Structure 1
Amino acid sequence: MTINDPAVIAEVEAAFMAYEKALNENDVAMLDASFKDAPETIRYGMGENLYGFGEIAAFRSARSPVGLLRTIERTVITTYGDAFATANTLFRRESMAGKVGRQSQTWVKFPEGWRVVAAHVSAIAE
């Protein structure tokens, strides 16, 4: 198994950055398209535990777009073979003074493209 093939990293990085752009613009359709539409998909958020794509999509459509803009740093994408990857990043928001956010995602390449199958978002004191 090849770890961190540059071509695969580039694919995942493109998917990750498209997700990041959609998050900052509250592009709900793109955010939904970034997650695998399956009951096994999980997203643990800042204040919610979402099991299955339906719960994730419902959360996204109901969430306020206020205060979503963020900057990211220390992003690490690691690929395992050509169809599995993790993406981890730190983020900062003006609405989270004194805290740093953490996001981890597990990405899998399906026939329709790279999709998040598990995600975790949390924040800690700086």
Structure 2
Amino acid sequence: MTIEINKPEVVAQVKAAFTIYEQALIENDVSTMNMLFWNAPETVRYGIADIQHGGEAICEWRANAQPVSPQRQLHRTIITTYGTDFATVSTEFSNDAEMSTRGRQMQTWARLGSVSDVGNGWKVVAAHVSLVQQN
């Protein structure tokens, strides 16, 4: 079986969904962020100081989570698609106000919804966020 890696139109779809997610994150648009995560028991999110298992737990956490800094900037974002329905997005982020740390964010995306959904059917099925000290 041969899987096409980084088919341009699939990369563009995932990039568009990721961009919508990042904009929602900056604007603290909880509804859009929740729509872009797969609302299923199998969804996992490991945050900087928190862990959620399942879409319900993610929605509950997000309802009370502190918004990210509007100065958030992304660095070295890498989108890799595998076939037409699976992708990873890896990125680093920083906040101009706090340059002593750099964040890392990885998301696994799968096409599980309808093309009429926010994100064209793409959903985050797993996510991990962490911080590292900068020298």
Preserved CA contact (<8 Å) 2:25 2:67? no
Q: Which runs of 5+ in 2 are unaligned?
A: 115-120
Q: CA deviation at 1:69?
A: 4.2
Q: Does 1:117 align with 2:125?
A: yes
- Go from structure 1 to structure 2 and tell me whether the alpha carbon gap of 1:66 and 1:45 turns closer, same or farther (over 3 Å shift): closer
Q: CA deviation at 1:94?
A: 3.9
Q: Which amino acid aligns with 1:114?
A: W
- Give the aligned partner of residue 15 of structure 1: 17
Local SS of the residue matching 2:61? helix
- Go from structure 1 to structure 2 and tell me whether the alpha carbon gap of 1:61 and 1:19 turns closer, same or farther (over 3 Å shift): same
Q: Within 5 Å, which residues of 2 pair with 1:49-88?
A: 49-65=51-67, 67=69, 69-88=71-90
Q: Within 5 Å, which residues of 2 pair with 1:37-48?
A: 37-48=39-50
Q: CA deviation at 1:86?
A: 0.2
Tell me which protein shows more helix as a share of its residues: 1
Structure 1 window deviating more from structure 2 (90-99 vs 110-119): it is: 90-99
| RMSD between aligned residues | 1.3
Could you report, residue by residue, the CA deviation over 1:21-64 in whole angstroms, capped at 9, with x for unpaired residues?
A: 00000000000011001000000000001100111101111113
TM-score (ref. length: structure 2)? 0.89
Preserved CA contact (<8 Å) 2:25 2:68? no
TM-score (ref. length: structure 1)? 0.95
4+ residue segments displaced more than 2 Å: 64-69, 94-97
Preserved CA contact (<8 Å) 1:106 1:116? yes
Preserved CA contact (<8 Å) 2:26 2:69? no
Structure 1 window deviating more from structure 2 (110-119 vs 98-107): it is: 110-119
Preserved CA contact (<8 Å) 2:5 2:80? yes
Q: CA deviation at 1:66?
A: 6.1
Q: Which runs of 5+ in 1 are unaligned?
A: none
